[in-house]
Structure 1
Amino acid sequence: MLYNGRPIDLTPEEEEIATMFAVMKDTDYATKPVFVKNFWEDWKKVLGPKHVIQKLELCDFTPIFDWHAAEKEKKKQMSAEEKKQLKEEKAKAEERYAWVLIDGVGNFRVEPPGLFRGRGEHPKMGKLKRRIFPEDIVLNIGKEAPVPECPLPGHKWKEVRHDNTVTWLAFWNDPINVKEFKYVFLHQSSSLKGKSDEEKYDKARKLTSKIDSIRESYTKDFKEKDVEARQIAVATYLIDRLALRAGNEKDDDEADTVGCCSLKVEHVSLSPPNSLEFDFLGKDSIRYQNSVVVNEEVYDAIHDFKKGKKEGVDLFDRLDTSKLNAHLKKYMQGLTAKVFRTYNASYTLETQLKETLGATLNEKTAEYSRANKEVAILCNHQRTVSKGHSAQMERLEAKIAELKTLREELATDLGKVKKGKPPVHSTAKRPPTAEQLEKKLAQTDARIAKMTLDLSVKEDLKTVALGTSKINYMDPRITVAWCKRHEIPIEKVFNKSLLAKFAWAMNVEPNFRFCEADGGADEDP
């Protein structure tokens, strides 16, 4: 790299961190002041106070960026055989770490060092994620099992445990958020993981038969004189109706993200006669903005909770997640905010899919995607519009325009052929028959319809992330049963990974219903 216009030598560690920053040159992160500031603060610690590099603005990372781009291009130019050989060599090296006696292992790879990106406007973006060593990792294996060989000579595992009450196989502290842990679990297709998933969705499904009585109970408490009881009732209402997370306390150096219990007074505004305006950073620093018409008693309660409080003060100042969850368990064993979230996500999907009107396979799968979208909106699963979205849309629109021109030509030629005249747009030696032109016309119409639908769906879904709700919140049996009822190959809505994860759900009957009893989730709030 260059410093103040001159080449400069770096140690391997200094160069590694510089490379992490250089490869981000053309991304949005490189333009974010917080990202750049955090990178510079962490890199300075490695450079040391006496290093020649003293100002980031005098650094030119272009040589490193160009080297990285050239290396990427080399990989692109590799033959299929060379890529296959590399893949096989990697798989062979990892093979011994990929299996346990009862099931396969999930993702057992430790994330390499790099610059933390985070989601949304995370305050720690750009900070250095240090390298994880064996001394950071705790293993969990059977008492009689041999301890896995440490892959780095001269190093050893932090600890080896024999705990058969948990399903994790290894963990280490997250290098950025040190209070959090990274785990290695059994593979998602394992029987134990599948059983755990099935129990999770069965618990949410059980809520169907209890939801009416739960709502009746917390509604009675909206006018409670006891402030804590009233706050619990309103918080439960918001978690139920808006699928909010419960929320936990955060340290000063953590992202200022909140859930229901940790809402501040400035996060909720009152809009007469009975609307609430929510605006806060949710999980992963994703902004939650929503305007909701609520029960008048809830509106009045929020007004009272805000009264006399300054910005930065808790809206629910008598409440925390432990109190809330303890109260929820009085309604149903094991009931938590996440169970409400899973229930409402699954209920929404099933409700949206009740009236499937599409005639073709593409129309039906588009309806499924839009139902999935409603769940993603409910759960605030957002994403930024991809850089290539506009270009993709332009290509699709251009292709549709070409097909429409072709259709006009085919229609003109068909009209002439039917009148016994030669077609004007055909270059074939043998002029096409009317039957051939009709067939081509029908095929072109089908292609136009498919591409127009693809264009509409792609535009409709550009800001929502469908995957998270599909993986974690929507009961897969709803999807499998729907596919069976409408004769849709399950591969059209579940990728290979989800097919393995939800193998336990594949034998469900076509008449399966998540909401066996009327849960009343479609009542007005």
Structure 2
Amino acid sequence: MAKETEPNNAVAQQNGKETAMNSESQQELSNSVPVENGVGETNGDELKRDSSAKNEDLDDIPWSQRIREKQQNSSTSKSVKRPVTPEESGGEEAQPVVKKSADKKRKTRQASPESEEEYTPKKKSKSSKTKPENPTPKSSAKKETKTEEDSDYEDDKPAKKKKKSTENNHAKQETSSSASPTKKKKKAEEEEEVWKWWEEQSPEQSDGTIKWRTLEHKGPMFAPEYVPLPKNIKFKYNGKPMDLSPSAEEVATFYAKMLDHDYTSKPIFNQNFFKDWRKTMTSAERSTITDLKKCDFRDINAYFLSETEKRKARSKEEKKAEKEIKDKEAAEYGFAMLDGYKQKIGNFRIEPPGLFRGRGEHPKMGCLKLRVQPEDVIINCSKGVTIPPPKGHKWKEVRHDNMVTWLCSWNENVLFSNKYIMLNPSSKLKGQKDWEKFEKARKLKGCVGPIRDQYLLDFKSKEMRIRQRAVALYFIDKFALRAGNEKDTDEAADTVGCCSLRCEHIKLHEELDNQKYVVEFDFLGKDSIRYYNRVPVEKAVFKNLKIFMEGKEPGDDLFDRLDFSKCLFKRINGWINCQSIRTYNASITLQDQLDKLTNPDDTIHAKLLSYNRANRQVAILCNHQRAVPKTHDKAMETLQNKINEKKKEYKEIKAELKKNKNDEKLQKKYTRVKEQLVKLKTQHTDKDENKQIALGTSKLNYLDPRISVAWCKKYDIPIEKIYSKTQRDKFRWAIDMTKEDFIF
């Protein structure tokens, strides 16, 4: 189509040859409109053109549109031909007309400076199956509801007045029109890949034994081999440069990279490192290197620092090339086929060798984590699936166990625990496990009363074992303590749970801070995080604790009669475990707090503050603490400066508005700045309240996501405000199935 800024030639031609138009219009239309299978690009649109469109200014009507209108009114013009069926066209597939494609062609011709005869239309896509419709122009007396496809025809309507900007507008519309289908297609492809397994089977229908029918993957990706240091970078012993064997040099680099870390100042870390390092040395090296204090790793440390700076200074091209390599690796190793569906793998890269750090004051910090070889790895897959090991190696074992969910397994050498490669949290196996966990906890709502009644009665049992079990269950239920288990304290950090408490971990107070029967807890919990709490308890619990501690030393077990090999609550109900009670208490606390704190009339920011406060109560209950971030004070200072600046702006606008009360633009600005100020204040409060609380742990592991999803839907809160993209993938099942009336 010719540009709308150049219609005068066409108008003059029509005015000068009015009598010849009827006979020539069909020929001209065939030159300007591509016809395929007997259907012109008009798609019968001219049949619905209202006669009122003729009264518009001729200069504003594109000439090809006037030709179509003239053809419609002409007595010699014929009806638009119907699409030819495959049978009528000799068996060839009929090409349906795509309105978006036609619209794109019209805009392309409109933006093109070339004449209509020079334009060569592109062939229409055979894959398109859009049915032709007849949109109604703006001038039509009969108004119809716009569909998505109708909106694509707006560019066919004549633009008015601002002719200079019309060309630019059409270019923009063409860009958005061409990009939109691509985005929609990409989104559709992503949605097609989503396996809605929750619609196939509920937790009640699953027997919990068979995890998969078919499983296929590529195995793990191993850590790259060690690259020796440059010849000019030397390790020094007693001030003299010394060449190390490759194995000893590699371990030396592990320590050198940590010179600036607090770990290298800890005696236990240095002792464990030096002991394991000497095992990798040659006999000559062992006879020479006998004292870690005489070892000088500074040159190696400086080398790696310079390499880090070089890495930061990489060009965009280098970063892009590295990303492409990683993407290629992820495409090859990062996915598995589970029951015929493509599922993402969580951790397909095996951890490289290094020095063990551990949490808190772990007794094995500094020990050498050896390189994992294919000969250490057990592969789990379907029968008939071949997963070749790296060249020159072989797998330790290949299993076909569909009762487990792991893909690969090996035993690490420091703690002698099993390590696994599992599917991503967004996978069916992980999601189904979460769903079953929360459904099990939800069932407790109907039987938690009898369970509590039972352990209250057991406080007075004649059997000491039952009394201890009752008090332990009371602690787990009321204070959300982890159960804990037996372990070798020489091989692991001295962390405890409820059942492994020692007498030194509690103090009893008949009265404290105007409260009677107070128990003071002080011990290291999971990940060596200190649990300190003072709580009032039942009188019967207090008396029993005094009995349990009689005649015991501080290092003796508080619950010495409990059998760790048996489930604590087996005699109460077969399916209940400690985690179910902890999960139940966390989720029911969130539900209750949200009901109490949420005001329907609040702004989104105020509602989110209420949500975080509810989440914080759960985190406190579960002892999900964290150290105050080092950047907290600076971040709070920056936020306070923003608040001060916004307050100043708010006062200025408020004063100006008093002078110009009828200024609508100023009123809108006043409202906007006021909302921004409230948002900043809310952020400041929220950040300060949560500086020592880790909200994410409970949100991901102990809170039923359906509670949060229902809350978001009920109060029109975007789910993105609660869950990140990764978290939304993990809880896709909850987001899809939950309605706003869900109650835990």
| Shorter-normalised TM range | 0.7 to 0.9
Q: Flag the 1:226–1:51 CA change in 2: closer, same or farther, 3 A.
A: same
SS at match of 1:50: helix
Measure the CA separation in 1 of the matches of 2:724 and 2:587: 19
Q: How far has the Cα of 1:198 moved from its partner?
A: 1.0
| Match of residue 216, structure 1, among 453, 470, 493 | 453
SS at match of 1:464: coil
SS at match of 1:329: coil
Within 5 Å, which residues of 2 pair with 1:56-95? 56-95=292-331
> Which residue does 2:636 correspond to in 1?
393
Look up the equivalent residue of 2:502 and give its one-letter code: K
* 1:127 matches 2:367: yes
* 1:345 matches 2:582: no
> Which residue does 2:333 correspond to in 1?
97
* 1:172 matches 2:401: no
Measure the CA separation in 1 of the matches of 2:464 and 2:715: 50
> Which residue does 1:24 correspond to in 2?
258
> Which residue does 2:487 correspond to in 1?
250
* 1:185 matches 2:422: yes
Q: Is contact 1:246–1:321 with CA below 8 Å preserved after alignment?
A: no
SS at match of 2:574: coil
Measure the CA separation in 2 of the matches of 1:313 and 1:299: 18
> Which residue does 1:261 correspond to in 2?
499
Q: Is contact 1:134–1:157 with CA below 8 Å preserved after alignment?
A: yes
> Which residue does 2:539 correspond to in 1?
296
Q: Flag the 1:164–1:240 CA change in 2: closer, same or farther, 3 A.
A: same
| Match of residue 106, structure 1, among 333, 336, 346 | 346
Q: How far has the Cα of 1:224 moved from its partner?
A: 1.1
> Which residue does 1:50 correspond to in 2?
286
Measure the CA separation in 2 of the matches of 1:60 and 1:390: 37
Q: Is contact 1:259–1:282 with CA below 8 Å preserved after alignment?
A: yes
Q: Is contact 1:262–1:320 with CA below 8 Å preserved after alignment?
A: no
Q: Flag the 1:57–1:366 CA change in 2: closer, same or farther, 3 A.
A: farther
Instruction: Between 390-399 and 476-485, report the one with greater CA deviation.
Output: 390-399
SS at match of 1:223: coil
Look up the equivalent residue of 1:129 and give its one-letter code: K
Within 5 Å, which residues of 2 pair with 1:395-410? 395-410=638-653
Measure the CA separation in 2 of the matches of 1:401 and 1:11: 61
Instruction: Between 241-250 and 362-371, report the one with greater CA deviation.
Output: 362-371
Q: How far has the Cα of 1:83 moved from its partner?
A: 2.2
SS at match of 2:691: coil
Cα distance per residue 1:368-391 (max 9 Å; x no partner): 222222222222222222222222
Q: Is contact 1:136–1:172 with CA below 8 Å preserved after alignment?
A: yes
> Which residue does 1:517 correspond to in 2?
none
| Match of residue 334, structure 1, among 575, 600, 604 | 575
Q: Is contact 1:263–1:314 with CA below 8 Å preserved after alignment?
A: yes
Cα distance per residue 1:159-210 (max 9 Å; x no partner): 11111111111111133210x2111223322223222221111110001100
Q: How far has the Cα of 1:352 moved from its partner?
A: 1.4
Q: How far has the Cα of 1:410 moved from its partner?
A: 4.3
Q: Flag the 1:28–1:86 CA change in 2: closer, same or farther, 3 A.
A: same
Q: Flag the 1:319–1:132 CA change in 2: closer, same or farther, 3 A.
A: same
| Match of residue 441, structure 2, among 204, 217, 220 | 204
Q: Flag the 1:4–1:193 CA change in 2: closer, same or farther, 3 A.
A: same
Q: How far has the Cα of 1:456 moved from its partner?
A: 2.1
| Match of residue 144, structure 1, among 384, 397, 414 | 384
Cα distance per residue 1:66-95 (max 9 Å; x no partner): 332332233323344432331221221343
Question: TM-score of the superposition, structure 2-length normalised?
Answer: 0.63
* 1:481 matches 2:717: no
Q: Is contact 1:481–1:512 with CA below 8 Å preserved after alignment?
A: yes
Measure the CA separation in 1 of the matches of 2:603 and 2:298: 51
Q: Flag the 1:248–1:150 CA change in 2: closer, same or farther, 3 A.
A: same
Q: How far has the Cα of 1:132 moved from its partner?
A: 1.2
Measure the CA separation in 1 of the matches of 2:268 and 2:643: 43
Question: Which structure carries more relative contact order (alpha carbon 8 Å, separation 6+)?
Answer: 1
Instruction: Between 280-289 and 73-82, report the one with greater CA deviation.
Output: 73-82
Cα distance per residue 1:342-369 (max 9 Å; x no partner): 1111111111111213722222222222
* 1:158 matches 2:396: yes
Measure the CA separation in 2 of the matches of 1:227 and 1:511: 46
Q: Flag the 1:377–1:126 CA change in 2: closer, same or farther, 3 A.
A: farther
SS at match of 2:520: strand
Q: How far has the Cα of 1:436 moved from its partner?
A: 4.8
Q: Is contact 2:360–2:493 with CA below 8 Å preserved after alignment?
A: no
Q: Is contact 1:38–1:125 with CA below 8 Å preserved after alignment?
A: yes
Measure the CA separation in 2 of the matches of 1:50 and 1:209: 66
Q: How far has the Cα of 1:460 moved from its partner?
A: 1.8
Instruction: Between 191-200 and 60-69, report the one with greater CA deviation.
Output: 60-69
Question: TM-score of the superposition, structure 1-length normalised?
Answer: 0.88
SS at match of 1:363: helix
Which consecutive residues of structure 1, in runs of 5 or more, have no partner in the other structure?
420-432, 515-525
Within 5 Å, which residues of 2 pair with 1:487-502? 487-502=716-731
Q: How far has the Cα of 1:439 moved from its partner?
A: 4.2
Q: Flag the 1:454–1:126 CA change in 2: closer, same or farther, 3 A.
A: farther
Q: Is contact 2:245–2:281 with CA below 8 Å preserved after alignment?
A: no
SS at match of 1:271: strand
Q: Is contact 1:40–1:56 with CA below 8 Å preserved after alignment?
A: yes
> Which residue does 1:503 correspond to in 2?
732
- Aligned CA RMSD, in angstroms, stands at 2.4
Measure the CA separation in 2 of the matches of 1:38 and 1:378: 37
Which consecutive residues of structure 2, in runs of 5 or more, have no partner in the other structure?
1-234, 511-515
Q: Flag the 1:81–1:360 CA change in 2: closer, same or farther, 3 A.
A: farther
Q: How far has the Cα of 1:475 moved from its partner?
A: 0.7
Q: Flag the 1:11–1:390 CA change in 2: closer, same or farther, 3 A.
A: farther
Instruction: Between 11-20 and 459-468, report the one with greater CA deviation.
Output: 11-20
